[in-house]
Structure 1
Amino acid sequence: MDKTEVMTTLKLAAVSHRAWLSNAQALIEGVPLDKDKVPVSATECEFGKWFYGDGQRLRTLPGFQEIEKPHDNLHQTYAEIFTLLYGEESKKPSLFSRLIGSAQKAAAEKREAAKVKSLILKDHSTEVVDQLEQLQRMINEMEEEQLSSYLS
């Protein structure tokens, strides 16, 4: 891989991460969206597939491994949000609960809690993107030979 390919790869990784976050935010806001578009597992999102797959060719670059922790934290937070919104207990309110409106109130409270957690989700996302951008800046300053020494 030359410098241009590495930079393109990192930019595409950031784009896929941002797309995942956008879909996650849409689900949290109640926008109808296929939940499969926002995988809970850190290894199943497009960014994670890249990071744990082809991205491992960059693993010896300084700062690359530092991306993993905020990415894992992001998915852990999203798992908590997903459980709040789509957990078993939120699927089937009783007839009595529906009649007196407590099911809607509980759903609204869960959505509000999910929105609060979404702020933490955004913080983790910012860490991932910051790490990617820092890596891009570092690579941009490297000579081609120096970059090659990390990738061989």
Structure 2
Amino acid sequence: MNRNDVILTLREAARAHKQWVTDALALIQGVPLEKEKVPVNSTECSFGKWYYGEGQNLRDLQGFKEIEDSHDKLHRIYMEIFAIIFGEVQGPSFFNRLFGLSHKIAAANREAAMEKFHLLEQQSDAILKQLLFLEKIIVALGDKQLEKYGLKME
């Protein structure tokens, strides 16, 4: 893995989190959900797989640990929105209700989901700032520092 790979991964994570915010709002507005939009555990999304895999080489960098906490919280809030809209997030019947089905949301549930959505937006903004901060640190690393973290030059 080289510096550019890490930077691209961080930028893709930022793009994905922006998309999650858009998807959450669409869901609240009653847009049917596609299977790939299901909010997975924070260790199962593409960024989480990198973070808990190759990304662990960077765990000693300033700001790396903070991203984990923010990322976990983002996934929890997203799942809370799902629970408000679709009921308890458990078992196969939950997933059967999700895919390809339009779901009418009660006004009270929509309001509660929008409150959570605002928290999701705030959390996403925090993650975007943290990802940008980490990217700046990685860009500033010298050759010897890159090697220390298991990274190569471009």
The normalised TM-score by structure 1 is: 0.77
Q: Encode CA deviations 1:26-45: one digit per residue, 9 max, x unaligned.
A: 21222222255131422232
Contact 1:60 1:151 in 2 (8 A): no
Q: Show the counterpart of 1:86.
A: 86
Write the distance in 2 (CA, Å) between the matches of 1:26 and 1:53.
31
Deviation larger for 121-130 or 136-145: 136-145
What is the aligned-residue RMSD (CA, Å)? 2.3
* Structure with bigger RCO (C-alpha 8 Å, 6+ apart): 2
Q: Show the counterpart of 1:126.
A: 125
Q: Show the counterpart of 1:99.
A: none
Alignment pair present for 1:55 and 2:55: yes
Q: Show the counterpart of 1:11.
A: 11
Alignment pair present for 1:38 and 2:13: no
Write the distance in 2 (CA, Å) between the matches of 1:19 and 1:84.
20
Q: Show the counterpart of 2:143.
A: 144
Instruction: Give the 3 Å change call, closer, same or farther, for CA 132–25 of structure 1 in structure 2.
Output: same
In structure 1, runs of 5+ residues without a counterpart are 92-103
Flag the structure with higher helix content. 1
Contact 1:3 1:144 in 2 (8 A): no
Contact 1:23 1:38 in 2 (8 A): no
Contact 1:78 1:121 in 2 (8 A): yes
In structure 2, runs of 5+ residues without a counterpart are 94-103
Identity %: 48
Contact 1:74 1:121 in 2 (8 A): yes
Letter in 1 for 2:143: E
The normalised TM-score by structure 2 is: 0.76
Which aligned runs of 4 or more in structure 1 are off by greater than 4 angstroms?
none
Bigger CA radius of gyration: 1
Structure 2 counterpart SS, 1:151? coil
Q: Encode CA deviations 1:83-122: one digit per residue, 9 max, x unaligned.
A: 110005xx9xxxxxxxxxxxx7x71110111011100011
